[in-house]
Amino acid sequence: MSNKTKTLALFLIIFFAGSFAKGQQAVNYNLTALLQQNKLDTSAAGQVHTINDTQYPGIAAKGIVWLKDVTFKDGAIDVDLRGKNVFLQSFVGIVFHAKDTSTYEVVYFRPFRFRIADTATRKWSVQYMSMPGNDYSVLRKLHPGVYENDIQPAPAPEDWLHATIVIKNGWVTVYVNHSQIPSIKVKELGALTEGKFGLWSSPGSLSSDFANLSIAE
């Protein structure tokens, strides 16, 4: 990617985030500090621990880790995520507009699909779901190729990736690694327009890593 293209991509991401901040700066969340200060609700998660990395200070967890006292409506979410390149064992994302662990919307990634040789299943790299009622299997059957897609260029499955998730006017748009081209853009299917916010990793999978979270509303 040329310097000019990188500059344009960065400008667009900043523009999107700024437009949702309504004149306010994004709020940064130090996940390591929040865990130590008991400001994360880990009751719906497995073992949660901090990550000792100066570039990616964050936490590792599976299940859902809720941010206490954070209610999300519309805005731009920026976060660094890392899963594992283990087939069918790594699912990592962000949950929003949640009532509880059964009713929520989520954008998540399947790292083991990022560079898989089969181009059809590589299209399952990033996914939107609305629970209950619209899980990946239902959406894939009724709306094939709409609520999931591949990522271009494909990240390395075991590396950190940066996700910018923009929720606005009933649309969910996902940008990966500061690309100016969305990996997916879909209409929301959830009944709630605001609710709890959390870090999501499939409870039955391996743990996932989360760092450098910020939210602009």
167-203 tens-digit pLDDT: 999 999 999 999 999 999 999 999 999 999 999 999 8
Cα dihedral sign for 7, 54, 75, 49?
positive
What is the helix, strand, coil percentage profile of the chain, to 5? Answer: 20, 40, 40
Q: Which stretch of 13-27, 80-94, 179-193 has the lowest confidence by average pLDDT?
A: 13-27
CATH code, domain with 86:
2.60.120.560
Token representation of residue 29 = 């969340």
Q: With b meaning 16 or more CB within 10 Å and e meaning fewer, what string describes 167-184?
A: beeeebbbbbbbbeebbb
Question: Residue 185: phi, psi to the nearest 5?
Answer: -140, 115
* pLDDT of amino acid 25: 82
Residue type at 185 in one-letter notation:
K
Contact by Cβ (8 Å): 51, 57? yes
Query: pLDDT tens across 143-154, in order?
Result: 999 999 999 999
- How many Å apart are CA 97 and CA 144, to the nearest integer? 24
Contact by Cβ (8 Å): 61, 52? no
pLDDT band at 208 (very low <50, low <70, confident <90, very high): very high
pTM of the model: 0.88
| H helices present in 22-104, as ranges | 31-36
* pLDDT of amino acid 203: 86
pLDDT at 5 over 50: no
Residue 148 CB-half CA count within 13 A: 26
* pLDDT of amino acid 204: 87
Domain count, the chain: 1
Residue type at 144 in one-letter notation:
P
* pLDDT of amino acid 137: 98
Domain range for 18 is 3-216
Q: In sequence order, what are the residues at sequence separation of 6 or more whose Cβ sits closer than 8 angstroms to the Cβ of residue 24?
A: 216, 217
pLDDT at 11 over 80: no
pLDDT band at 24 (very low <50, low <70, confident <90, very high): low
pLDDT at 22 over 80: no
pLDDT above 90 covers what percent of the chain? 86
Q: Which stretch of 16-30, 39-53, 147-161 has the lowest confidence by average pLDDT?
A: 16-30
pLDDT at 14 over 50: no
